[in-house]
């Protein structure tokens, strides 16, 4: 019986102590306003202006091709889209146009790589004849790499037969 009495007394003392600790000490600390921490954020002007420059860049232009063909048929709408690239090159002489040719998965890898390059070179010739400076046009081939979408349906394969014109900044 002595153990039960001693345990009960210790429990009551512990209950009073923990209640006092919570009510008088801990709860008051939670009601105090938190210290305001000021973080000095330095704005990186170079990164900010680079982001603005990236936002102003013309969006990539995609030209689709027929199966196993590299002949390029320009349409009237293309000229209006190319005007954006022309004005960009005029404003930023350190940039180039990257012309990347793609194919679908049908055929050998080496053949597709060559076909992608022929498509890119066809568009490069057209851009040169349209007044773009040839020194600022670069044609490359990705062949069947980086597919636009799947290759199950005819429409998905057709989306992979393309040339993409994009602006690249030279450092």
Into how many domains does the chain fold? 2
| pLDDT of the residue at 153 | 77
> Could you tell me if residue 44 is inside a domain?
no
**Can you tell me the mean pLDDT for 116-142?**
89
| pLDDT of the residue at 29 | 61
pLDDT single digits (tens) 67-125: 878 887 888 888 888 888 888 888 888 888 999 998 888 888 888 889 989 999 999 99
Does position 41 have pLDDT exceeding 70, yes or no?
A: no
The CATH number that applies at residue 124 is 3.30.1330.60
Alpha-carbon torsion angle 142, 147, 152, 156, nearest 10: -100
Q: Provide the whole-model pTM.
A: 0.67
> Could you tell me if residue 9 is inside a domain?
yes
- If asked whether residues 93 and 154 sit together in one domain, one would say yes
Cα four-point dihedral sign 150, 152, 157, 159: negative
Does position 13 have pLDDT exceeding 90, yes or no?
A: yes
- If asked whether residues 26 and 86 sit together in one domain, one would say no
Residues 105 and 160: beta-carbon distance below 8 Å: yes
Supply the range of the domain harboring residue 7.
Answer: 1-32
């Amino acid at each position: 019986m002595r153990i039960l009495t001693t345990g009960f007394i210790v429990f009551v003392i512990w209950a009073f102590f923990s209640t006092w600790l919570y009510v008088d000490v801990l709860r008051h600390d939670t009601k105090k306003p938190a210290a305001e921490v000021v973080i000095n954020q330095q704005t990186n002007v170079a990164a900010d202006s680079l982001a603005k420059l990236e936002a102003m860049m013309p969006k990539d232009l995609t030209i689709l091709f027929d199966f196993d063909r590299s002949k390029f048929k320009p349409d009237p709408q293309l000229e209006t889209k190319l005007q954006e690239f022309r004005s960009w090159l005029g404003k930023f002489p350190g940039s180039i146009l990257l012309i990347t040719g793609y194919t679908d998965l049908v055929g050998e890898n080496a053949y597709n790589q060559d076909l992608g390059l022929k498509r890119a070179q066809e568009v490069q010739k057209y851009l040169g004849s349209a007044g773009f400076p040839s020194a600022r046009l670069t044609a490359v081939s990705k062949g069947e790499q980086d597919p636009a979408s799947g290759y199950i349906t005819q429409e998905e394969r057709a989306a992979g037969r393309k040339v993409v014109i994009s602006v690249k900044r030279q450092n």
